[in-house]
Amino acid sequence: IQGTIRPHAIIILPNTSGMELLLTYEDEGIYIDIYGHFTKETVLQWGEMPASVAYLQSNQVMGWGEKAIELRSVVTGNLEGVFMHKKAQKLKFLCERNDK
User: Which residue range is the domain that position 18 belongs to?
Assistant: 7-84
Residues 30-71: tens digit of each pLDDT? 999 999 999 999 899 999 888 888 888 888 999 988 888 999
The pLDDT of 79-92, averaged and rounded, is 76
Exposed, middle or buried, 72 (CB in 10 Å: 0-12/13-18/19+)?
buried
Residue 76 belongs to some domain of the structure: yes
Global confidence as pTM: 0.78
Residue 49 belongs to some domain of the structure: yes
How many domains, the chain?
1
Residue 95 belongs to some domain of the structure: no
Residue 28 belongs to some domain of the structure: yes
Residue 1 belongs to some domain of the structure: no
Residue 55 belongs to some domain of the structure: yes
Residue 62 belongs to some domain of the structure: yes
Longest dimension (CA), the chain: 41
